[in-house]
Each structure stands twice: as C-alpha cells, then as structure tokens.
C-alpha cells in the first residue's frame, strides 16, 4: 500500500517548509510526493488541479493520501464532500496530520449503507457554517465602519503601496530593526504594503498568507434541560438552531440534559443567549441550570 503525499502553496513567494516539517514529523514511510506548481489557488476545485489529478490516477485501492493541513487540499464545504466521495469510490484513505481535522476519520462510512457517516457530515458542515457566519459578521462590521468613516469625511479604499523610490529605504530600515507598524506610519501606507516591500526579508511563516489559525474543532457538552427549553423558545441564528436541534436527549431522573455538539464559539453564543436566566423572572432552578452550563462552557477555549 503506497503513501501518497500532496503539497500545495498559493503563490510563488511561499514555500512548503512548514508542510515538509509536519509531514516529516509524521514519519511517513516511503512517501510518493505530488506537489502543485506554486501559485495554484485554493479556489480551484481540487479535482481540477493537475497534480491532485495525477495522484488520483496513480493511486490504487488501499493507498493513503497524506496532507499536512486540510486547507492545503480543500477550502469550502462542498469541495470536502466532493473529495471524500472520490476517495471512497477509489478506496483510498485520507490522513491529515495537523489542524482541526487531524483527529477525525473523514473517510469513515456506515458499515451497512456505505454512506458517509452523518457525524462526519455534521462536523464538516458545522465548521463551514461557523466560517460563513464569521465572514458575514466581518462584512457587516466592515460596512458599518466604512459608513462611519464617510460620515467623518474619510474616504475608504485601499491605502497606497510603497513607492518604488522608497522601497530600498524601507528595506534598510526594516533590517536595522524598525518595525512593520512603525514603517507603515512613517510612510502613510498599510502594514500589508510594508510586508510586500520587505517580503524577501520576512521569515516563511510571516510571509505565508495561508498560515492562519486552524478552525475550531466541535466539542460535545451536556446542556441542562431547563436551559435547552429556554433556548428552544428564543430567537437563534441558523448555526445555533442547528446545533440545538441535532442535540441528543439524555434522560436523568425526572429531567434531562441535551448533549450538544458544536464549535466552542457556538457554545459561547448559546450561553450568552440565556443570560436573562441569571435574574428575574427566572426561577432558582433555571438560574442553577444556567450556572451549570456556564461552568461547562468556561472549560472551553476562551472566545477571541
């Protein structure tokens, strides 16, 4: 059974150094490497990329595809499901060695139906929905910020890049210890413009636009029934409602708890929704239930 390694970077200014480190630490035996040409965009569907196509052509049933992080292969929710379908068709395993998906078997299938496990679909869709919610909120905040700036007479748009005549001075100042933020203030440009001017002097991990935090991994928490009852009648966004609706009911004496699986950010959002249970007109049992849920949520990674 062969070990097939797939690597990709988005620009010719990036390197595969970080991927090489992760894959080397994994101790893959006799790897056969397929590396895309530099600049292969993540927007291009994986099944349309030349080297990944070569990998699928070379592969035989029982082989394993290795990648350092999920985003080296796919970005969007549908891309993930498409790739998993092809890997299942060709009887290939997928091993992700770093990031949120590294602990999951994304190729797991139901032993009788042969379909992708519903829990795998749920985790993939939840991560995608959380990412979409974050992008929507960022767009709303950006729009509100632009309107506020316009009201003050400021004009939006991209800040100017470093002039060619100033590039040498910027690079010299950076080498001498001047920070990127200070250089941006000195020249009236964005920090991104300064990073572009000194790109060749930056470490690989700073120059890479793809070295971003991995998405959060879904966590299962028991939500007291009184909290769940309150939230079911509250106004929730689609991600929160989905997490609540797909929770598993666990009976406990005369009451119950709802076993909810969601990323930590969604648990924090649900906790914030039931803030009113801390005071009147909530009854003592509701206040106690909310404190129990708060104690469980507080063990998760704090919200940024």
Q: What pLDDT, in 10s, does the model give residues 125-136?
A: 676 566 556 656
Coil vs helix vs strand at 49: coil
Cβ atoms 96, 206 nearer than 8 A = no
Cβ atoms within 10 Å, residue 276: 13
More confident call, 75 vs 258: 258
User: How is residue 173 written in tokens?
Assistant: 């100042």
Cβ atoms 90, 61 nearer than 8 A = yes
Cβ atoms 293, 224 nearer than 8 A = yes
Q: What is the pLDDT of residue 182?
A: 86
Residue range 166-189: average pLDDT? 85
Tell me, what DSSP letter sits at residue 160?
P
pLDDT band at 161 (very low <50, low <70, confident <90, very high): confident
Instruction: Round to whole Å and give the CA distance between 289 and 304.
Output: 25
Q: Where are the alpha helices (DSSP H) in the chain?
A: 17-26, 50-58, 77-89, 118-151, 164-175, 180-187, 191-197, 204-207, 225-232, 238-245, 264-273, 284-297
Task: Give me the helix-helix angle, 118-151 and 77-89, nearest 10°.
Answer: 160
Q: Is the pLDDT of residue 234 over 60?
A: yes
More confident call, 161 vs 58: 58
CB under 8 Å to 205, separation ≥6 — which residues? 18, 211
pLDDT band at 57 (very low <50, low <70, confident <90, very high): very high
CB under 8 Å to 103, separation ≥6 — which residues? 217
Asked which of 2-6, 192-196, 212-216, 270-274 is least confident by mean pLDDT, the reply is 212-216
Q: What is the pLDDT of residue 34?
A: 95
Cβ atoms 65, 59 nearer than 8 A = yes
Q: What is the pLDDT of residue 239?
A: 85
Give the whole-number percent of the chain exceeding pLDDT 90: 13
Q: Is the pLDDT of residue 78 over 90?
A: no
Residue range 217-231: average pLDDT? 88
Q: To the nearest whole number, what is the mean pLDDT of the chain?
A: 79
């Amino acid at each position: 059974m062969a070990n097939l390694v797939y690597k990709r970077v988005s620009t010719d200014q990036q390197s595969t150094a970080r991927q090489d480190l992760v894959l080397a630490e994994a101790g893959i035996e006799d790897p056969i490497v397929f590396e895309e040409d530099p600049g292969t965009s993540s927007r291009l569907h994986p099944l349309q990329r030349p080297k990944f196509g070569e990998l699928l052509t070379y592969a035989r049933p029982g082989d394993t595809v290795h990648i350092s992080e999920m985003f080296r292969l796919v970005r969007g929710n549908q891309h993930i499901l498409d790739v998993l379908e092809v890997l299942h068709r060709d009887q290939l395993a997928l091993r992700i060695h770093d990031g949120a998906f590294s602990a999951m078997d994304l190729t797991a299938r139901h032993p009788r139906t042969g379909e992708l496990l519903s829990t795998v679909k749920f985790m993939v869709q939840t991560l995608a929905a959380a990412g979409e919610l974050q992008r929507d909120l960022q767009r709303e905040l950006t729009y509100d910020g632009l309107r506020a700036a316009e009201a003050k007479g400021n004009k939006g748009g991209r800040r100017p890049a470093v002039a060619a005549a100033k590039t040498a001075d910027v690079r010299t100042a950076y080498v001498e210890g001047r920070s990127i933020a200070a250089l941006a203030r000195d020249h009236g440009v964005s920090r991104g413009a300064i990073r572009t001017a000194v790109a060749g002097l930056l470490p690989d991990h700073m120059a890479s636009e793809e070295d971003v935090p991995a998405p959060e991994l879904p966590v299962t928490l028991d939500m007291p029934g009184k909290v769940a009852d309150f939230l079911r009648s509250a106004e929730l966004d689609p991600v929160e409602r989905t997490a609540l609706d797909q929770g598993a009911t666990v009976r406990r004496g005369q009451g119950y708890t709802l076993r909810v699986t969601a990323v930590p950010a969604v648990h924090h959002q649900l906790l914030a929704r039931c803030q009113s249970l801390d005071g009147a007109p909530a009854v003592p049992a509701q206040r106690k239930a909310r404190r129990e849920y708060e104690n469980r949520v507080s063990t998760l990674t704090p919200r940024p």
